[in-house]
Each structure stands twice: as structure tokens, then as C-alpha cells.
Amino acid sequence: MLNLPAEFETFNELKKKGFIEIKEEKDKGKNVVGIFCSYTPVELIMAIDAHFVSLCGGDDASIAAAEKFLPKTLCPLIKSSYGLAITDSCPYFYFSDAILAETTCDGKKKMYELLGEIKPTHVMHLPQSQTAPLAIESWTEEMKQTATFLEQQFGRPITTESLRQAIIDRNRVRKALLQLYEIAALVPSPVSGYELSSVVESTDFHFTDDDVVEGLNQKIEEYLARYVAPNPDAKRRPRLMITGCPIGGCREKILKAVEDLGADVVAFDSCSGPRTQKVLVDETIDPYQALAEKYLLINCSVMSPNQGRFEDMKEMLKHYQVDGVIELILHGCHTFAVEAYYTKKFVTETMELPYICIDADFSTSDAGQIRTRLEAFLEILQ
């Protein structure tokens, strides 16, 4: 079972617990595949009876080592991920037998070339548009080629049956995650965004779907039991959405800071949020086609155009009764930085809500300045 006691543990504590779990799995002879992105069709890894683990770095400490080889101006997520790999300081990277990656942003896809010198790395060619001619055909073909890579790497086949079962199992996890996110739609939310995001992202470090689903169901019950109906006389805490780049490396200085200042983060419009989970993989059609259809629908800024992001955002802003939006742009992330033009316009003009854009890296040096900006933003919402 997902090892989450009633007492809240931070993401880093949960991640460390997963180190022991993955070592035990390796000792049992299990293969492990490292991944970096929500576009990764993890069902293929499951279908070959291997575990997948997220290797995305969110740690400032590993960046200096990476900057000996990568440009300083690159996004901290890419530098941190590569730094963890080359310093051998991440047990998850150490235990990974292979890497499954995709051509998302330029920095990531070029970093994978360097990573390929350390571990067997397969890079899937993700179409850069969801609607381009032949996008779905080429992405379906990429699914098949990835299956061949995994078969050759591990010397066993992916059968149609094992792939169908993996799709069913992963859909169960998605449904449990969707129920968990749904709790934050309650007013007031009985769970902090900091806690919710820590629990959701820690599921990447548990390796049996049944355990993950059981653990998530337990958390859902625990959070629902905390719910107290709103007092009509009490002042409502502002309800916020987080959007933009992955929040992991800025969890403390943005997510925790803004909640400590008196707001509730209730909606995550990011790749680990509900918009990535809400489309299930079709269990009834050809499994490769089904995977291609599901994963191509993810609305990340690496897609051009990326109109679906704003359609999803509109629905979420209403559903979670959001009062304001915080966008995170990691230094050097061109796709989200450029798309922020549309995000700001959409939030402030179409939805008529307050919006703040925060540029950050993973260091703590800007934490004070960010806190001051968040304080000023919350004042607008009072």
C-alpha cells in the first residue's frame, strides 16, 4: 500500500522512502525504466513487466555539476535532472536499466543525447502539433517502435494481452487520482494544495498499481473526513490555480509560501494535474492506437498551437471556483514563457480574474522576493 501515514510527510520524505522500495524491487529481479514527462506511455513499460520511475530533477544542488556540460541559461528542471544523473546522486537513476524519453522542448531533447551516453535511451518523436496531418499516425508508429525497443532491451515480448491489462490498470490509477483532485473542489478545500501535490507526485515512487490505488483511496477518505461545511460569517480564503511549468522544484517557495500567506491552492493546471488524467486510454480499440490518441491529447506548451490548454483551464477555473491564477515560468523555458502571453490574456480578459506570473529557478535566493510578490497579489484578492 502507498505508505502514507495520517501524519503528513513532505514530498522529499516520501521520495526517500521510495528508494528502499525500488531497491527491493531490483533485488527481486525487476527491471526499471526512467521517465521524464507526462507524454511517456507508461503502459508500455508496465506491459513488459518493468517498473517506471520519474527522473525529473527538482533539486538545486545538482545544477552546478550539470552546468559544466550544459548551458547555464537552460531550464533548471533539465539541468537538475542531468546533474542528478552524472553525479550518481539519484538512486532512481542508478537503478534504471533504460530511459524512455520524448522530443518535447529543445533543451530536453538535446539533453537526452548526452544522457544516452550513460544509459540506453530511447527518444520518442512526439508530434509538435495535435492536429497536424499524420500526427496520430506517426505517434502510433512511435508507440510500436518503443515497444520494440523495450522488447529488445529486456529480451521478452509485449503481448496484446499484457498491454491491454496495463491500460486497464493505469486507467484505475487515473480514476483514483481524479477523485483525489476532486476533493479540492469542495469549499473550503479540506486539503492544502501543498499536501495534495506532494501525495500525487509521490505516486511516481510507488511501484504497484493496486497499492497506489488503495493508498489514494485511503487519502481520499482521510481528506473527506476533514471537511467542515463553510461558516457563512467567516471570510473565505482566496482559491488559486497554479499553471505553467512543473511546480516540483518550486513547491516550497511558491505553493507552500502562498498557502502560509492565507490562500488555498485548489487547482493544478500542470502536467501532473487532472487535465493530464481526465482522458482515459480507450480499453476497447487497438492498444497502440489508443495510447497514441490519449497521450497526444495532453495540452502542454510544447504543442503548437495549444488551444486545448485554455479550454481545459476555463472548465477548471469554474469547477474549482478559482479567484486568481499564479503562473510559474522556470528560467529558460521558452515554450511556457511565450505562451504566457496567451495565458495572461485568457485569465485577465476572458475570465476576468487576477493573474501573476512568477519567473523562478530552484534556488532559494529569490524566495523572499517571491513571497513579497505573492503577498501583494493576495491583497488584490481580499
CB of 73 to ligand SF4, least distance (A): 11
Spatial separation of the C-alpha atoms in residues 46 and 32, rounded to whole Å: 10
**Number of Cβ atoms within 10 Å of the Cβ of 309:** 21
- Contact residues for 161 (Cβ-Cβ < 8 A; gap 6+): none
What pairs with residue 242 in β-bridges? Answer: 268, 326
Nearest position to ligand SF4, beta carbon: 271
Q: How far is the CB of 307 from ligand SF4 (least distance, A)?
A: 16
Q: How far is the CB of 330 from ligand SF4 (least distance, A)?
A: 5
C-alpha cell at 148: 520494440
Q: Find the shortest distance in angstroms from Cβ 204 to ligand SF4.
A: 12
Interface with ligand SF4 (CB under 6 A): 37-39, 75, 77-78, 104-105, 107-108, 245-246, 271, 298, 300, 302, 330, 333, 335-336
Residue 100: which of 81, 120, 128, 126 has the closest Cα?
120
The order of strands in the sheet holding 50-54 is 50-54, 31-35, 98-102, 121-124
Asked if 134 and 143 touch (Cβ cutoff 8 Å), the reply is: no
Cβ proximity to ligand SF4: between 191 and 298 the closer is: 298
Neighbours of 100 (CB within 10 A): 26
Least distance from ligand SF4 to the Cβ atom of residue 259, Å = 22
Pick between residue 39 and residue 52 the one whose CB is nearest to ligand SF4: 39
Q: Which is nearer to ligand SF4, 77 or 266 (CB)?
A: 77
- Is cis: bond before 232, omega within 30 of 0? no
Task: Show the CA angle centred on residue 268, arms to residues 263 and 269, nearest 5°.
Answer: 130
Minimal distance, residue 17 CB to ligand SF4, in Å = 23
- CB within 8 A of 171, min separation 6: which ones? 280, 281, 283
Shortest distance in whole angstroms from residue 244 CB to ligand SF4: 8
Q: Which is nearer to ligand SF4, 70 or 158 (CB)?
A: 70
DSSP code at position 237 = P
Please report, for residues 44, 139, 163, 282, 362, the alpha-carbon distance to residue 291 in angstroms, rounded to integers and kept in the order given: 9, 9, 10, 8, 33
**Cβ closest to ligand SF4, residue 2 vs residue 101:** 101
Choice between 324 and 332, CB closer to ligand SF4 = 332
Residue 74 beta carbon to ligand SF4: minimum distance, rounded to whole angstroms: 8
Q: Which is nearer to ligand SF4, 2 or 74 (by Cβ)?
A: 74
Q: How far is the CB of 309 from ligand SF4 (least distance, A)?
A: 10
Residue 4 vs 267, nearer CB to ligand SF4: 267
Taking the complex as a whole, the smallest distance from the CB of residue 234 to ligand SF4 amounts, in Å, to: 36
d(Cα 172, Cα 349) in Å, to the nearest integer?
38
8 Å CB contact between 54 and 32: no
CB-nearer residue toward ligand SF4: 101 or 150: 101
Instruction: Decide whether 62 or 335 has the Cβ nearer to ligand SF4.
Output: 335
Contact in structure between 188 and 237 (CB atoms under 8 Å): yes
CA distances from 372 to 6, 57, 238, 266, 347 (A): 32, 26, 17, 21, 22
